[in-house]
Chains A and B, each alone.
Chain A
Amino acid sequence: MPDWKQQVRNRLGGSGLPPEHESEVVEELAQHLEDIYERALRGGATKEEAVRAALLELNESEPLSRELRRARPTRRLDDIAPGAPRRLSMLGDLRQDLRYGLRTLLKNPGFTAVAVIALALGIGANSAIFSVVNTILLRPLPYKDPERLVTVWEEAAKQGYPRDTPAAGNYVDWRDQNQVFEAMAALADETFNLTGSGEPERIEGRRVSASFFPLMGVEPQAGRAFLPEEDQPGATRVVVLSHGLWQRRFGGDRSVVGKPVTLNGETYMVVGVMPPGFQFPDREAQLWVPIAFTQQQAANRNRHYLRVVARTKPGVTTEQAQAEMSNIAARLQQQYPQSNEGLGAVVVPLHEFLVGDIRPALLVLLGAVGFVLLVACANVANLLLARAAARQKEIALRLALGASRLRLIRQFLTESLLLAAVGGVVGLLLSVWGVNVLKAFIPGTISQVGDISIDGRVLGFTLLVSLLTGLVFGLAPATQASKFNLNETLKEGGRDSASGARGNRIRGLLVVGEVAISLVLLIGAGLLINSFLRLRSVNPGFSTDNLLTMGVVLPQQKYTDAARRAAFYAEMLRRVEALPGVKSAAVTNWIPLIKQGDSISVNVDGRPDPGPGKRPSVVTRVVSPHYFDTMGIRLLTGRHLNEQDRADSLNVAVISETMARKLWPGEDALGKRFTPGSPTSTNPDDWITVVGVVNDVKQMDLVAEPKSQMYLTYEQAGFFAPRHLVVKTEVEPRSLASSVRSVVWEIDRDQPVSNISTMEDVLSESIARQRFSMLLFGVFAGLALLLAAVGIYGVMSYSVAQRTREIGIRMALGAQKRDVLKLAVGQGLKLVLAGVAVGLVLSLVLTRVMTSLLFGVGANDPATLAVISVFLIGVALFASYIPARRATKVDPLVALRYE
């Protein structure tokens, strides 16, 4: 007689039931078979026929094992694994899922911590960058109906000024002739010396039209704005203070309204104080006075120095405004060909003007953090997949208990969303910190930096991102679970099927994706770092070493004539140079790299006047004789300016090599003459003679190609007054700051000194935007690299652990450690190489959006691509080497006993 129990067992396969249940089932069925066998024998069958009859009973053994799984266990398993009860409501299911998910997560604190950290980093970085984007790009400006505010500029593209500051004459005509604007206002930068009580102070202010405050739609918090009659030459001098200045200098005292203050040596009446947060056009303006054009000023079309802001009439689009302004500009060209030849007008929405510079950087960064989050998702998905493999038993049990696959997917997604939610909360906390760090990095020229905060929109964004994240990384393991093949699993005798080919493929694909995205980010970071290094190594044409700089602007009202000013400068420079530790000192109208400057257009001796707009424009620096030594600007030929170049001697200039080459190509520029006036002038005072040629200096910023430059002495060039003092020191420059300032005050105790800085800092500030992009992008790329390395490490560890037996067999058959290492690392390498290939293709497309942020490197710079790829492969190899080395330590005996 056969062993019926064995027969039944064979047909059932692994039932996945608790052993005591299984043995009962087997016993019961075996008895039944035995009964049939005996009945058949009694009926006269042979032993063989009887056995066959009994075994026929088990023919449909597959439904049997399935049915058994569904029907047999009587123990309530719901406490362990929800799934079967279909009568529960959706909400009940959800609560159950949540409770169960929470318990599962708490049961694996290590897994949960790793996943939450990865997600929090990803989500936090996104929230932080988004809060910046939200404040700067999305939040409306703090003015009334800000979408109707525009800036208007002169357009002189042919001369290299696509957006130039308008001349007053043109502004007045625009204002009077247009039909599209409700109001228009002009602003002019001016620095004021605030004296009287307390230290003399240099304060950035703006001269503005009376229409300015009503146009912006912001009311003063105390007092009033300007009256139209105050915007007239000769009217009572009045001033409106910013909230910051009012608080700092006047202690927030409301009674300051109506009181006098001394600005540039003249008395102004305070009429109003603006509310906190009102800043226009940037954070620097601390007070406003009426612009009050004189008749002469209002007719001037040659001095381009205004900023113009306007409010469109309701319903007028930017395009309509632009068309109108172009028409007016065309009329002015015909009317004033001398000054307006080739001069257009361009309308730029205020918001675009304010954020134009930083918008591409922010958008690229937003894209970058999105990528970081994707890598984090891939990582967590990988973790979840590996864990799903370990949860096979649970899934099998729940399927066997009749849990629908949909229900399982829901359970998995609930867990993912739970993880994402926790990651989101932690991420939000990280982003609060991150926003503060970001604020410090954002270049100061962006006026809304102070307002960057986490508001409802950022919270909503974080919530959305967390939910999406949960779905994205939860989907792979969830569908994996839903494709779970119960029979296969059971046939494999409890070996996990997610470790089968499909599971490995998904994990492999995730690693390829992670590597690809990380590579794109790393290449982006590499390009920015490369750009920054190139920018940093640009020769500015002067030496920044031991150079102290500060603003010393003499008020015209006090120093009315050139002789008095010259006397002041001469005395100041003499005393400063006498200070111990000072090598030399000089004054100049503008120091380099602060994006400010004066230029004039000139005619060359012996050549016909090419006409207005076509004359060569020359960046003009008005300096004292020691300027070249102080700045370390090299003399190429001729001589420097010296003390003998006085107001009453021959007008001379030292010019830059670019100017020499452009104006006198192929000739020696020394001794040549040029004039800011007419080339037919016979008055020797109109002419300037070239006495020296020096190297080019990056006057505006490090990026721009140098233009023609010339240096005149301040005594000969009365029209541009020096504003900055530069001091070359033998010691740490800042240590001399206060003694230099004291020297100034010894001569005039009311003379303010402002913006004390080293030239090194000025240079550094001039590339703040590039540093901002580079640092952040670098941090994000580093984060992605770290996450990707962890991901590769995780997958390789898992793979090695899975292949322990195979490796054991190989080693038992004589494979060397080297072979095993090659095998394991080779597997990782294949994934990494695939990822690098995909990443390279992606980066060819994606880095193009960064073009505007780059300097001196192409978006597809082959050197960067190569270096970064090799670097990433190195890191990835290292990440897969650690688990591979573990594989070589496998003891064949242990490995073979392992299963």
Chain B
Amino acid sequence: MKLFHQPLKTQKQPMLKYTISILFLLCFFNGWAQDEPIDLNPQDTIVRKQTYGLRVGVDLSRLIISQTSEGYSGLEFVADYRLKQKLYLAGELGNEKKTKQEDLYNFTTSGSYLKLGIDYNTYENWYGMNNSIFIGGRYAISSFSQTLNNFQYFDTNRYWNPDSFPNGSSEAVEFDGLTASWLEFVFGLKAELFTNLYLGGSVRIGFLVNNKEAEEFPNLFIPGFNKVTDDSKFGIGYNYSLTYLIPLYKKGPKKNKGEIEKENEQ
């Protein structure tokens, strides 16, 4: 906390400040640089209403990776609905198909997923700003199939096959009717680029609750959950969302006791 009481010190280091600013410029759009001026007039009688509505959009990362990566196609729609000042009902609906070449086998996972939960905004916006740094939780389900495209046997003894691992079947075997469900912790943010248009990003840590897999071939990838690691129930995912807010109504924040008393005095 001490740092905040030394504003002069930072001003004495313009070069450092400058460097860091350039770093920010290189990384992100500085779209939120212009803000509404702060109204410091205590006599202000304007009711500061907040916009409530439905925010819908897509995940940009899945769109881009679908274009750039040969073994992947995926699409994710994201949406949230503002329930309270800081609380949002949030969800994602997506479809992914991923082909992965491991050392000795090649498989394709294909399926859809739905995630539902809440986001809680921890960011204190100044009036007029609509950015958020949120934490959230989701319950997610996925239904998918996994196809073993081909494989070679792992055999360290090379007596009969000195040149390569012996080929197993090259006939694709599909394991379908696979399902998984997991809990997800979300940390992310959204910044308003233009009026009602938001750019956001989030990372997600998933914890597998239920994983129905084929006996012969376990689930190595789950749509929405990402890579499944051996002997671990955790998975990591992320998204970059571009969303549009459909404003539905405006509502002022709940007045606290102090404010109401003040109004009565006047």
Chain A complexes with chain B: no
Binding site for A on B (CB under 8 A): none
